[in-house]
Structure 1
Amino acid sequence: MPTLTKLYPMQEVSLHNSQDDCWVTIDGKVYDVSSYMDEHPGGDDVLLAATGKDATDEFEDAGHSKTARELMESFCIGELEVPTPLIPELEIVPNKQQNDIVEKIKDMSKQYWTVPVAVVGISVVASFLYSRRN
């Protein structure tokens, strides 16, 4: 079998979705089955339903014979283009900036220490007054 060099994006494959122009993808390969539509034992509607998506699972579930798999290779026109995944860029924070963040947190804790102390103090006084009543 010759080496496949033509790559097709799924968007282009999905445009070929009619009786006269039908492409399907199976196992990462693109097949132009337009000329086989009338001969397909499962009917043309099965092939038309497989356009615009990866039909590998449907193909495997149908239990195709070795002969059918060999015949399928004659319709192969290329491979499915696999989009490269978007990898987020790693943001490297300089040590100076990390130290700045730590310093800001320390400053905030020094500045706002009175709020938790006041809450604790009020709680102690309230519990003392409540216990004196009983």
Structure 2
Amino acid sequence: MPTLTKLYTMQEASQHNTKDDCWVVIDGKVYDLSSYLDEHPGGDDVVLVATGKDATDDFEDAGHSESAKELMQSFCIGELDTSSPIIPELEISSKKEATEYSQKLMDLTKQYWTVPAAIVGISVVVGFLYMYKKK
């Protein structure tokens, strides 16, 4: 009978980011390294920096040995759920709010168009007076 694998989202894994509760994600698998941090040859800081993200590249770049990769399997607690988005989608605003906001912006634009127009007009008049005075 196949063993059931626990699935974790990246958001769940990233919440375990302290020395007492440290999870990392490598090659789509989730590892609880809390009990191993003090024994890690590179120090616990290296591992703690890798929490909350996919640390596959960091792990590979460090050049871990085959024995390290075998040891890592004993800390595996599940797999990354790839069906859920890595970054949760946020609702910015509803269409009704967007419409109301754009309407308010249009009203302000119509109401205050005179200020930029007056500045341009004054600039043109001052420019002509300056040119006239120079002659």
Match in the other structure for 1:52: 52
What secondary structure sits across from 1:58 in the alignment?
Answer: helix
1:3: how far off? 4.4
Asked whether the 8 Å contact 2:13–2:52 carries over to 1, the reply is yes
Structure 2 residue runs without a partner (length 5+): 86-135
Match in the other structure for 1:77: 77
Ranges of 4+ aligned residues in structure 1 off by more than 3 Å: none
Match in the other structure for 2:32: 32
What secondary structure sits across from 1:25 in the alignment?
Answer: strand
Q: CA RMSD in A?
A: 1.5
- TM (norm. structure 2) is 0.59
Asked whether the 8 Å contact 2:9–2:84 carries over to 1, the reply is no
Asked whether the 8 Å contact 2:16–2:22 carries over to 1, the reply is yes
Note closer, same or farther for the CA distance 1:51–1:65 as it changes in structure 2 (3 Å cut): same
Map 1:1-134; keep pairs closer than 5 Å. 3=3, 5-84=5-84
Asked whether the 8 Å contact 2:25–2:53 carries over to 1, the reply is yes
Structure 1 Cα separation of the partners of residues 84 and 76 of structure 2: 23
Structure 1 residue runs without a partner (length 5+): 86-134
Q: What is the identity percentage for the equivalent residue pairs of Structure 1 and Structure 2?
A: 77
Asked whether the 8 Å contact 1:4–1:79 carries over to 2, the reply is no
- TM (norm. structure 1) is 0.60
Structure 2 Cα separation of the partners of residues 3 and 26 of structure 1: 20
